[in-house]
Amino acid sequence: MRIWMKRLLVLFLLIGTGLFCAAYLAASDPEDLDNGRAKLLSYIVRQQLTNNHYQPRELDQQFAADIFALYLEQLDPQKRFLLKDDVTRLEQFTATLNRDFKKGRLQLPEEGRRLLHLRIRQVQPLVLDLLAAPFSFDQEEFFETDPEKLAFCSNSAELRERWRKALKSQTLARYIDKLEELEQDGETPTPERRKELEGEAREKVSKTVTGFFERLLEDSDKDHYNEFLATFSRTFDPHTNYLPPRQKEDFDIHMRGSLEGIGATLREEDGYIKVVSIIPGGAASRQGELAAEDLILEVAQDDEEPVDITNMRLREAVGLIRGPKGSTVRLSVRKPDGRRVLISIVRDVVQIEETFVKGTLLEPESSEKRYGYIKIPTFYRDFSKYGEGRNSTDDMREELERLSAEAPLDGLILDLRNNGGGALTDAVSIAGLFISKGPIVQVRNGDGTIKTLSDTDNDIAYDGPMVVLVNRFSASASEILAGALQDYRRALIIGSDHTHGKGTVQAIVDLDRHLPFRNMQKYLPLGALMVTIQKFYRVSGDSTQYRGVVPDIILPDRQQHLETGERYLDHSLPWDTVRKTNYTPWRNALPDFAHLQELSTQRQQQSELFTEIRAQAELLEQRSKQTRIPLELTAALAEREKIDSLRETSIHGTMNVDDGEEEQDLTTQLKDDAIFLEGRALLDDIIRLNGQGGVARTPRSANGY
């Protein structure tokens, strides 16, 4: 999630027009307009990224090779169309890529689209021929689902065999679905009925694949060119991107918060639509099954036939997933461990109340201490009221006051798990609720200048022991808060082996405002660029980028097998350091970490919950490596049973809290949350070893930055 600085939702970066010859941009018909627009875009995008990116790259041969690798993944991600000779031919255009950008004509995407459409038309009759005859599910064979483990086919015979296995796999999956439907109805299919079911399954696959081909061939020169510019942009870093006019419009709508849908952030990745994050308070959050890192394979409206969305443009896929409030969308999803599950979600608008800070007073267990628990789903601030609207800082302060109304809190657990970020000003001001005045985060521009954002008063809302819960989906602003509390030794950070590692700031550049000459308005709209312009650093000088925040106490996690986080993204900016700021650690030092770790390890070894988490993590990791799926019926049925047995396993390894429940229900659900329970036990350890309690003080007014 982006971090918005102050009240700036959109930042326009001004540059000089430079020298640009517009003579070749004259246009007299629609085709000339498209060609002229493409030339203009290639110039402006290149100039904007070179001038404004935090860490611009030279258009040398290494950069060209990186562009080609990303483009090839986008062009034929499953390696089912292009042949090795095609790849070799396309690679030749990388040698002239820098010159092509300067000339305004990019040969690589032009030839790439031509070759892809040629191969699609050649594959179409091959696929129809394969689907004309029944498949036999009696012989032992396997289909490799991970394209990274496959090479491009050398000839049409290899390509036919790859498609045969892919189609057989899809048919077998639908065939098993039909068998399970009959089993639920108490019917045992006869051999003849089984033949009919296989035919019905093949027919469904045929319709799906036919629609898939038609969609690929509808890809226009303009669409393909836009995708290439997006690929070019992402070679600078994964958060820099070109947004075509339609996508920019969708982005603007998203920022206004007026979309109705499932409440998930999505992105294109290697031909798939991938879930980046689940929006707190959204339909998917309340349903509970869809999770970050899931791949959405098919989308169905209510009881209609599903649509295969592999290789689909993001905006088209989002168009299928969105819909009116109250309608149902069915998503066929592949989990990171290989499971394929069907998830039904009733579309709804985001329930704003469910995104707000919420807390509860914890009932005494092993001790009589009064502990508070507060969860921050996201860092929110209503910018429409000049920054004075509802915000997470004021809500946090009020929650602390409410929990300590009857008596001071002895300890506090702050939950930042799955918090993807939000308003930077609130990450800074919430940190200020727990420390005396001092620096919170450093922000570095591309030119090396550094600005330090600080808490500027001595007031403290709570001064007692604290434990902060994080996981790999704690990102951006939540990493700033956790990192500051860790550097000040103000709180003990516990959770996954690292947080997400999103330590950069992006700005939106409206390309329509950067025409070299006025007579080029006929090419509008051009869209926008999302450009990385700044980097965050902790008060210790360490960047939060790439590595994230490493907890003081690392706990077992079901999601440890997931390759999620900045370190797993192509071309992510590296971790580095700047000079530390002048700050004073918290006066009440935490106990020795090694001793706390020893106590925690002893509890984990005796905990049934952690024993279960470790076993499930190991099983899920093993499954994530098993990318070859059986094409024989008995083996496939056995595999389906294993998948069903894993479905109840939460991918996040934490409580599945319905944010709309009352406080007592939140408390009840926390009782089965192993990470929370260990956080509570560590609070006991800290208080026992330090002999300290806390005081909740009169809340102070918010400071803005």
| Coil vs helix vs strand at 222 | helix
Let me know: does 348 contact 282? Beta carbons within 8 Å. yes
Using the 8-state DSSP alphabet, how is residue 670 labeled?
H
Of 32, 77, 42, 37, give the one whose Cα is nearest residue 216: 77
Is 552 a known active-site residue? no
Question: Could you tell me if residue 472 is left (phi over 0), alpha (psi between -120 and 50 degrees) or otherwise beta?
Answer: alpha
Q: What does the alpha-carbon distance between residue 493 and residue 20 come to, in Å, rounded to a whole number? A: 53
Question: Could you tell me if residue 306 is left (phi over 0), alpha (psi between -120 and 50 degrees) or otherwise beta?
Answer: beta
User: Cα 177 vs. chain centroid, distance in angstroms?
Assistant: 30
Q: Which of 476, 543, 572, 600 is catalytic?
A: 476
Let me know: does 657 contact 666? Beta carbons within 8 Å. yes
Cis peptide before 525 (omega within 30 of 0): yes
Of 385, 395, 469, 474, give the one whose Cα is nearest residue 430: 395
Q: Which of 39, 358, 369, 502 is catalytic?
A: 502
Let me know: does 503 contact 477? Beta carbons within 8 Å. no
Let me know: does 398 contact 359? Beta carbons within 8 Å. no
Is 487 a known active-site residue? yes
DSSP string, 583-634: ----SSPPPPHHHHHHHHHHHHHH-HHHHHHHHHHHHHHHHHH--EEE-SHH
The single residue listed with the structure tokens 């065939």 is 175
| Coil vs helix vs strand at 270 | coil
Of 126, 119, 169, give the one whose Cα is nearest residue 144: 169
Q: What does the alpha-carbon distance between residue 640 and residue 691 come to, in Å, rounded to a whole number? A: 54
Tokens of 562: 């997931």
Let me know: does 104 contact 38? Beta carbons within 8 Å. yes
Count of C-beta atoms within a 10 Å radius of residue 529: 27
What residues form DSSP beta bridges with 505?
534
The single residue listed with the structure tokens 């000459």 is 517
Rg, C-alpha atoms of the chain: 27
Let me know: does 89 contact 128? Beta carbons within 8 Å. no
> Which backbone phi and psi does 34 adopt, to 5 degrees?
-65, -45
* Sign of the C-alpha dihedral computed for residues 649, 654, 658 and 661 taken in this order: positive
DSSP string, 112-170: HHHHHHHHHHHHHHHHHHHTTSPPP--S--EEE--GGG-PPBSSHHHHHHHHHHHHHHH
Q: Which of 348, 487, 552, 557 is catalytic?
A: 487
Is 79 a known active-site residue? no
Q: What does the alpha-carbon distance between residue 266 and residue 296 come to, in Å, rounded to a whole number? A: 9
> Which backbone phi and psi does 646 adopt, to 5 degrees?
-90, -15
Of 229, 176, 173, give the one whose Cα is nearest residue 45: 229
Q: What does the alpha-carbon distance between residue 68 and residue 47 come to, in Å, rounded to a whole number? A: 20
Q: What does the alpha-carbon distance between residue 488 and residue 370 come to, in Å, rounded to a whole number? A: 24
Of 226, 264, 224, 239, give the one whose Cα is nearest residue 116: 224
Which residues carry out catalysis?
A: 476, 487, 502
